[in-house]
Chains A and B, each alone.
Chain A
């Protein structure tokens, strides 16, 4: 064979190899992980195969039971389905059932030490959903809570996927495929292996054996907790608004309270969040004010976790017959992880069904999608760097609040700052798009004017105070 390869040229040969690596009738796909990324891949792979007239078998390996209450059934996430994701799913005919939705979000409330402002949705529609990923937090009394992950997995099962409730313990490359080993059942051979295991280091290490060029994503720890409250208190204290906090507290880049039906989810993003940081945040006046007066927010022990989040994507998340998606491959920095799962899951599914499953195919059709997310995240890092500076500056925060107030109270005003903040908080737009809009001369001029405007009364107030002190002396 070697003489033939050298005779006709290795490029042509590798083209032939790539050509052979296509899914055909009867091909088998193994998806490791049944969270949103694995489910989106599976749903679209089966849907595209149907459109293409291709008969494939697809197994999803998921050891977790998403119908269980507490950590054992949860994928540790704030549980926001963004505006753009809701629209993309609806366009594809996927209507999120009402029993999955804990609450729909219609406004965002921005809290700073200098004041609070409500930002209304530009569309005046409820287009953001808060959901549970599992079947509810530890201690949840509602037995019939349906979570997002279980809904998606069921949808895949209805479309023909087989869900195997086992933990994958071994992955091995064979002559013409990938062998998947589980603890209990016999090994199974597949034509394509899809990794959707989030940031589970142990399983990701298994993938390195079949995807040697892959390097694991860089991570940091976030914090998520669920506070149980009476529904009437959630409604009264938070309403249908997601509360975001720009507070001058160290190591916290972003803090939010997400209202659900009878829970409030606290999400903290930043650098290696620990107990003390959480304590400082929860004890701040602005956060306390979002809970009912008699609610002992800093004393109770909610269902809580410190999950890893992706801060830098994994390199080269594909090889011949292998592709890694979602957090295991590329995600969106800090926001809209479910949206990134849809983007990477669909891109990998369309590559596998319509193009092929060789490394070359994934490099040509899947890698650009990951690179695009990566480029966007680099801009996101810049935006959050600026956000950290803003957090420390009471003057700029006053200016922002003043500008938002002016925009929100004037029906004819262009909502430049409001829409930038809206998209930054909701994850509805890419970071590059947000930066472009933030750098709009109209917005920058408005912000400078508002900031100076808020400085004048402060200056006058300080001058007045000084005069008063002199008189007293």
Chain B
């Protein structure tokens, strides 16, 4: 069988990034869907579900901190890793690459605000 998906294949439920672990790569969903889970003592809370061309792990690009959530495959999924070095080299040459990241982060901030302020 020819492999036709760019990135790495994850099986249903397989963890892509784990909350509390360090990491500095950005991930882009190439195929399938992933769930973003916040793990706490009270149990796991699903924060979001992402699909094709959505990205996650962006905080790891800017912060030397541990992952704030766990992301796992919801069904079979193929995920492409964007290296931190490649990302910043590309941004230096072409700052517009950061636009989509800012746009998505802004959307996520708005959604988080709405969730917090929801009755």
Query: Which residues from chain B contact A460 at a C-beta distance below 8 Å?
Result: none
A262 to B32, CA, bound (A): 26
Residue in contact with A90 in the complex, picked from B2, B4, B82, B93, CB distance below 8 Å: B82
- Docked pose: A346 CA to B97 CA in angstroms: 10
Chain A nearest CB, measured from B63 CB (Å): 18
B6 touches A127 (CB 8 A): yes
**Is the pair A235, B2 in contact by a Cβ cutoff of 8 Å?**
yes
Report the Cα distance A91→B96, complex, angstroms.
10
* A87 and B82 within 8 A (CB): yes
Q: Is the CB of A87 within 8 A of B3?
A: no
Contact of B3 with A92 in the complex, beta carbons under 8 Å: no
Give chain B residues whose Cβ lies under 8 Å from the Cβ of A106: 3
**Which one, A87, A94, A103, A346, contacts B96 given CB within 8 A?**
A346
Of residues 20 through 58 on chain B, the ones whose CB sits less than 8 Å from some CB of chain A are 26, 28-31, 52-53, 55
Q: What sequence of 0s and 1s flags, for each residue 326-356 of chain A, a beta carbon within 8 Å of any chain B beta carbon? A: 0000000000000000010011001000000
One of A118-126, A166-174, A314-322 at the interface: A118-126
Q: Is B110 located at the chain interface by the 8 A CB criterion?
A: no
**Cβ B80 vs Cβ A90 within 8 A:** yes
User: How many residues of chain B have a CB within 8 Å of chain A?
Assistant: 30
Q: In the assembled complex, how far is the CB of residue B72 from the closest CB belonging to chain A, in whole angstroms?
A: 18
Q: Which residues of B66-116 have CB atoms within 8 Å of chain A's CB atoms?
A: 80-83, 86-87, 90, 93-94, 96-97, 99-101
CB atoms of B80 and A87 under 8 A apart = yes
Asked if residues B87 and A123 are in contact (CB atoms below 8 Å), the reply is no
Chain A contacts of B53 at CB under 8 A? 90, 93-95
Q: Is the pair B3, A240 in contact by a Cβ cutoff of 8 Å?
A: yes
Q: Which residues of B contact A369 (CB under 8 A)?
A: 93
B2 and A88: CB pair below 8 A?
Answer: no
Contact A125 B81 (CB under 8 A): yes
A350-B96 CB under 8 A given contacts A84-B90, A87-B86 = yes
Q: For the complex, what is the distance from the CA of A92 to the CA of B100, rounded to whole Å? A: 6
Knowing A87-B86, A93-B53, A123-B81, the reply to whether A103 touches B97 (Cβ < 8 A) is no
Residues of B within 8 A of A127 (CB): 6-7, 80-81
Given the known interface contacts A51-B99, A86-B80, A127-B80, the answer about A91 and B6 at a Cβ–Cβ threshold of 8 Å is no
Please give the distance in Å from B7's CB to the nearest CB on chain A: 6
Closest to A430 in B: B89
Contact B31 A98 (CB under 8 A): yes
A369 to B52, CA, bound (A): 31
Interface residues of A in 210-243 (CB under 8 A from B): 231, 234-235, 240
Contact (Cβ within 8 A) A91 B7: no
Bound Cα distance A126, B99 (Å): 26
With contact pairs A90-B30, A91-B26 given, residues A125 and B7 touching in the complex (Cβ less than 8 Å): yes
> Is A48 positioned at the interface, with any CB of B under 8 Å from its CB?
yes
CB-CB under 8 A from A123, the residues of chain B are 81, 83
- List A residues 229-262 near B (Cβ within 8 Å): 231, 234-235, 240, 261
Separation of A343 and B97 alpha carbons in the complex (Å): 12
Q: How far is the CA of A125 from the CA of B6 in the complex (A)?
A: 8
Given known A124-B8, A125-B7, A350-B96, contact A90–B31 (CB-CB < 8 A): no
- CA A101 – CA B3 in complex, angstroms? 9
Say whether A103 contacts B8, CB under 8 Å.
Answer: no
Most chain-A Cβ atoms within 10 A of its Cβ — which of B26, B52, B87, B90? B90
Q: Please determine whether A125 and B8 come into contact, CB atoms closer than 8 angstroms.
A: yes
**Interface members, chain A 92-114 (any B CB < 8 Å):** 92-96, 98, 101-104, 106
The residue on B at minimum CB distance from A83 is B86
Q: Is A129 positioned at the interface, with any CB of B under 8 Å from its CB? A: yes
Could you mark each residue 21-60 of chain A with 1 if its beta carbon is under 8 Å from any beta carbon of chain B, else 0?
A: 0000000000000000000000010001001000000000
Q: Is B7 touching A126 in the complex (CB atoms < 8 A)?
A: yes
What chain A residues lie within 8 Å of B55 (beta carbons)? 90-91
Taking a contact as CB atoms under 8 Å apart, the answer to whether A346 and B94 are in contact is yes
Which of chain B's residues have a CB closer than 8 A to the CB of A124? 8
Mask, A69-93, CB within 8 Å of B = 1, is 0000000000000001011101111
Docked complex Cα distance between A357 and B71 (Å): 45
> B2 — which chain A residues lie within 8 A by C-beta?
102-103, 231, 234-235, 240, 261
Chain A neighbourhood of B97, CB < 8 A: 88, 91-92
Indicate whether A84 sits within 8 Å of B86 (C-beta atoms), given known contacts A93-B53, A125-B8, A125-B80.
yes
Contacts of B100 in A (CB 8 A): 91-93
Contacts of A87 in B (CB 8 A): 80, 82-83, 86-87, 90
**Chain B positions within 8 Å of A95 at CB level:** 28-30, 52-53
The 5 closest A-B pairs by CB, nearest first: A90-B28, A98-B4, A93-B53, A95-B53, A125-B8
**Can you give 24 A-B contacts (C-beta < 8 A)?**
A84-B90, A87-B86, A87-B90, A88-B90, A90-B30, A91-B87, A91-B100, A92-B97, A95-B30, A101-B5, A102-B4, A103-B3, A104-B3, A104-B5, A126-B7, A129-B6, A231-B2, A234-B2, A235-B2, A240-B2, A261-B2, A343-B94, A346-B94, A347-B94
Given A86-B80, A93-B100; 18 other pairs, CB 8 A cutoff: A84-B86, A87-B80, A87-B83, A90-B53, A90-B55, A90-B82, A91-B26, A92-B97, A92-B100, A94-B53, A104-B4, A104-B6, A106-B3, A126-B6, A126-B8, A240-B3, A343-B93, A350-B96
